[in-house]
Amino acid sequence: MKEETPVLKGKTKKELEEICVSLGLEKYRAAQIYTGIYKSRYTTIDQFTTLSKEVREKLKEHTLYPEIEIGRDLVSKEDGTRKFTFYVGENKEIEAVWIPSGDGGRKTICISSQIGCTLNCKFCATGLLEYKGNLHTWQILDQVLQVERLVGDRATNIVFMGMGEPMHNYFSVMKAAHILRDKDAFGLGGLRITISTAGVTTGINRFIENKEPFNFAISLNHPNPNARSSVMDVNDKHPLEKLIETAKRFTKELDRAVTFEYVMIPDVNMGRDNAERLAKIARSVNKCKINVIPLNTDFTGWRRPTDEEVKEFVMHLKAKTTAPILNRRSPGRDINGACGMLALKGIRSETTK
């Protein structure tokens, strides 16, 4: 069997050393290649001018330096959010979102980990797509490289909250996250990178055992163990009771807070009873914060809560827990770029209210 040509992007420094040695190059060249890819953001091998022309020619002959291909670039008229569609293979598309804060201080890129998704959360448009595989590490990182190039700016934060379930592509996601964190690469630091999950407890336990240094978010979305499966099918395999015990283990062993993401759906997971159940979970986990998010999709027949309904739900929550509660805005709704809306669609046809 012919050996596969190595891709330079997505490789750790050690892996680049192995490639250099296999090509008869000095091992120290790996550090030059590593910083060139991730710190200098070179787009072609010819830009690696710290390498001799002979070395560059050898790399071009024996390695690959691909990039994902930009499709659509949509800009929100409401808040400056930009959504990008990228091609990662024949009939394979993913999306990433650039989310600038109102004051310009925080610049977040929301990136995808899979082509489609292995799960089917009822409120999430990505779950309606055909699952077409995991992304390679280089394709995950290239979303950051391409978005930064397209917007002409650098991200301050990265969230693995785009298409796919990160825990179902654990090793590629974590490898990408460590490169994003590395001071010799992207240099973001662990607390500026957030890994999310719909509640895959096996992945969370692996995260804990490996003592991963990143922020962690769990999409909870229903506090009732008997009703959560009606919103998220992951609950069938990883039930809520087990998920909460795993979250407790997370805060105890890693000594830091976990974030619960909670998409608010009227007549499904809101009201006083659900607020009290959610608060009880927060109290039991101890170190946590809660991000509440108004429903953004409407294909299920569910509706987005009114501002008054959100205010009342948060009021009930605050009465029963001291956990920090953030009402997360929904940037990019007009371009289908907000939470739960990534489904390779363009601008919403209906009026956003």
Q: Residue 347: its pLDDT value, please?
A: 62
| Whether residues 54 and 80 fall in one domain | no
Q: Is 340 annotated as a binding residue?
A: no
Residue 352 falls inside a structural domain: no
Q: Residue 338: its pLDDT value, please?
A: 85
Alpha-carbon span 329 to 294, nearest angstrom: 8
| Whether residues 211 and 305 fall in one domain | yes
Q: Is 148 annotated as a binding residue?
A: no
Q: Is 110 annotated as a binding residue?
A: no
Q: Is 199 annotated as a binding residue?
A: no
Q: Residue 243: its pLDDT value, please?
A: 98
**pLDDT string in tens for the chain (353-residue length):** 346 899 999 999 999 999 999 999 999 999 999 999 999 999 999 999 999 999 999 999 999 999 999 999 999 998 899 999 999 999 999 999 999 987 768 999 999 999 999 999 999 999 999 999 999 999 999 999 999 999 999 999 999 999 999 999 999 999 999 999 999 999 999 999 999 999 999 999 999 999 999 999 999 999 999 999 999 999 999 999 999 999 999 999 999 999 999 999 999 999 999 999 999 999 999 899 999 999 999 888 999 999 999 999 999 999 999 999 998 778 899 899 989 988 877 665 433 33
| Whether residues 154 and 116 fall in one domain | yes
Q: Looking at this protein, which amino acid is placed at residue 61? A: E
Residue 302 falls inside a structural domain: yes
Q: Hey, what are 27's tokens? A: 């091992």
Q: Could you count the other beta carbons within 10 Å of the beta carbon of residue 62? A: 14
The CATH number assigned to the domain holding 46 equals 1.10.150.530
Closest CA to 124 of 93, 165, 73: 165
Residue 348 falls inside a structural domain: no
| Whether residues 39 and 142 fall in one domain | no
What is the pTM assigned to this prediction? 0.95
Q: Residue 290: its pLDDT value, please?
A: 97
Q: Catalytic residue numbers?
A: 95, 339
| Whether residues 144 and 232 fall in one domain | yes
Outline where the chain has alpha helix (H).
13-22, 29-38, 53-62, 137-151, 170-181, 201-209, 234-237, 240-254, 271-285, 307-320
Domains of the chain: total? 2
Q: Residue 343: its pLDDT value, please?
A: 86
Residue 105 falls inside a structural domain: yes
Domain span at 225: 69-335
Q: Residue 2: its pLDDT value, please?
A: 45
Q: Is 220 annotated as a binding residue?
A: yes
